[in-house]
Structure 1
Amino acid sequence: MKIKEWAEEDRPREKMLLKGIASLSDAELLAILIGSGNSQETAVQLSQRILSSVDNNLNALAKLSIKDLIIKFRGIGEAKAITINAALELGKRRGNSTPIQRPALRTSDDAYRLFHPLLCDLPHEELWIALTNRSSFVIEKVKISQGGTSETSADLRIILKAAINALATGIILCHNHPSGNIRPSQQDDHLTQHLRDAARLLDMQLLDHIVLTDGSYYSYSDEGTL
């Protein structure tokens, strides 16, 4: 039976999309790389045989040359052998890479320093959010809108959708005032209150709203107006 004739949840690619990549066996991951088997084996069966030949040890598999793979396994040509070697080499290099250090936002000054390079020199207003996890580490920064010299619009649905998609628990709002005046407007106050209340309904917290200029900022949290 060909892989395309299997139940959808058993096909490697579909299984990955349905259940996540961690649900796949080594053979299924290898099958995705090689794409097809031979006239007698599916890609998964061929992958199982390849892994069995090295006692299911990926380090041993990485020691096989492109020539070894081509000679030993029917259905593995030069392109497939190169793909296998390249994937294993990437795995090695990942092990030697330094993990990404996400910034932590625990104070208003942390938030100001995060957004200042993005907003300090702009001649127009932009509204951004930083989404954080329970440990206050930044998951991602998202630009929400861009306006004129005195205001920008905000759609709560866009903000909350971004937070939900990121599985965030905390939201920090930030926008700039090109005029240099750090005092928030009534529109800023209304946005802050509405987002705070909407976030609570989704078990999220609006941690702060920063109004930023080049050299100074206003923090709703620091001022006790959040």
Structure 2
Amino acid sequence: MAIKFLAEDDRPREKFLLKGINSLSDSELLAIILRSGSREETAIELARKILNSVNHSWHQLSLLSVKDLMKFKGVGEVKAIAVATALEIGRRRAAQEVPEKSLIACSNDGYQILRKYLSDLRTEEFWAIFLNQSNRVLHFTQLTHGGINQSIVDVRILFKTALDHYATAIIIAHNHPSGNLRPSKEDLEITRRIKEAGKMLNIQLLDHLIITQNSYFSLSDDGLL
């Protein structure tokens, strides 16, 4: 159904899903928090009235108390608390420093991130680190876990996760509970498959790490990538 045929209170949510949060106006954002208006006006009309009262200033709106917000017809205690809470979350977010993403400059950097998750396991697990264009870590996660000798990774899941996090490069890793650092034929084959799949998506495979209890092996450092 086209957005124009929806009830006005439903349009901001549908617009959010179809076009993204950046497509919403201030009144549409506030209307989503309010959820509904009154008998005389929609949530969007109520949101406009509230924003007009503070000259469309989110800062001025954040200074209103719950009692101040409840003076608007259609705003009960629950709605007023929801608005005040959303604005407080925004204030706290603005006050926080954006954490610096870890930089991967060499194979040891990747090893230091994953060693605490992989070094002491008795069964194999397959992990991946997802990076941006500056080789800073966007995300890292376990993808599979298996038996004593192998852990099979689904290449489709690997690259879906990479795309979900807008990664442009990945580092894959798995552990060898046996303590043997050398890659097996299966390790080399899955590395080849992932590298080739990455070329199609323009997502570079930077390394494949094999991690044991006390050390690691880098296929990139050893010229096997």
> For residues 99 and 189 of structure 2, what CA distance do their matches in structure 1 show?
36
> For residues 64 and 157 of structure 1, what CA distance do their matches in structure 2 show?
50
Give the fraction of aligned pairs with identical amino acids, expressed as a percent.
46
**How is 1:34-73 mapped onto 2 (pairs within 5 angstroms)?**
34-71=34-71, 73=72
Q: 1:23 to 1:113 in 2, by over 3 A?
A: same
Residue 150 (structure 1) aligns with: 149
Residue 175 (structure 2) aligns with: 176
Q: Structure 1, residues 158-178: CA drift from partner, whole Å, max 9, x if none?
A: 222222222211111100011
The reply on whether 1:105 has 2:104 as its aligned counterpart is yes
CA displacement at 1:5 relative to structure 2: 5.1
Q: Structure 1, residues 15-72: CA drift from partner, whole Å, max 9, x if none?
A: 111111111111111101111111111100110010001111111111111111112x
**How is 1:10-29 mapped onto 2 (pairs within 5 angstroms)?**
11-29=11-29
> For residues 68 and 198 of structure 1, what CA distance do their matches in structure 2 show?
57
> For residues 165 and 86 of structure 2, what CA distance do their matches in structure 1 show?
28
> For residues 89 and 197 of structure 2, what CA distance do their matches in structure 1 show?
43
CA displacement at 1:124 relative to structure 2: 0.6
The worse-fitting range, judged by mean Cα deviation, of 172-181 and 133-142 is: 133-142
Q: Structure 1, residues 108-137: CA drift from partner, whole Å, max 9, x if none?
A: 000100110111111110011111111111
Equivalent residue pairs, number: 222
CA displacement at 1:4 relative to structure 2: 9.2
> For residues 61 and 128 of structure 1, what CA distance do their matches in structure 2 show?
45
1:21 aligned partner, one-letter code: I
> For residues 5 and 74 of structure 1, what CA distance do their matches in structure 2 show?
26
CA displacement at 1:187 relative to structure 2: 0.7
Consecutive unaligned residues in structure 1, runs of 5 or more: none
Runs of 4+ in 1 over 4 A off after TM superposition: none
1:16 aligned partner, one-letter code: F
Residue 89 (structure 1) aligns with: 88
TM-score (norm 1): 0.93
CA displacement at 1:141 relative to structure 2: 1.2
1:104 aligned partner, one-letter code: L
1:32 aligned partner, one-letter code: I
Residue 122 (structure 2) aligns with: 123
